Amino acid sequence: MDARLDFFSNALGAKVLRHINSAGKAASESGLPHATQELVKIRASQINGCGFCTDMHTKDAAHAGETAQRLHLVAAWREATVFTEAERAALELAEQGTRIADAAGGVTDEAWADAAKHYDEDQLVALVSLIAVINTYNRINVINQQPAGAYRPGQFG
């Protein structure tokens, strides 16, 4: 499978990706735990069917020390006992924020309140931004049919 476009060699595509990367970097440098960031990126990517991002973020998480058990259970996090209450709140917010079109009310007040119990305002800003950024990347990669499987941890910096 080949991607429909080479965003990296296209001048406009590269410019767009640089701006998205800048937003992602700002969110990733927040006080939001790195493990939580990767779990959120993985879950949103699974929901959106983005193989490229699922491949990237599971490999990055494993490289950073995340266990195989937790990575395998992200898709079934509600039934899994290996996630903290804070991670579960972040995963719920990520799911609802990713499935906005599926839910008439968007993100519920309950999901927001649960996340707010575990994260301070800067971390919530980072979490919301991270969800928005990964959904943007998912859409670019799914539309572009970006192939998955060849990513190496740290490949993009």
pLDDT tens readout for residues 70-108: 999 999 999 999 999 999 999 999 999 999 988 767 899
| Average pLDDT in the chain | 95
Transcribe 29-41 into DSSP letters.
TSSS-HHHHHHHH
pLDDT digits (tens, 9 = 90+) for 16-35: 999 999 999 999 999 999 99
Give me the residue label for tokens 């919301």: 128
pTM over 0.85: yes
Residue 70 in tokens: 């937790």
Among 1, 40, 7, residue whose Cα is nearest residue 140: 7
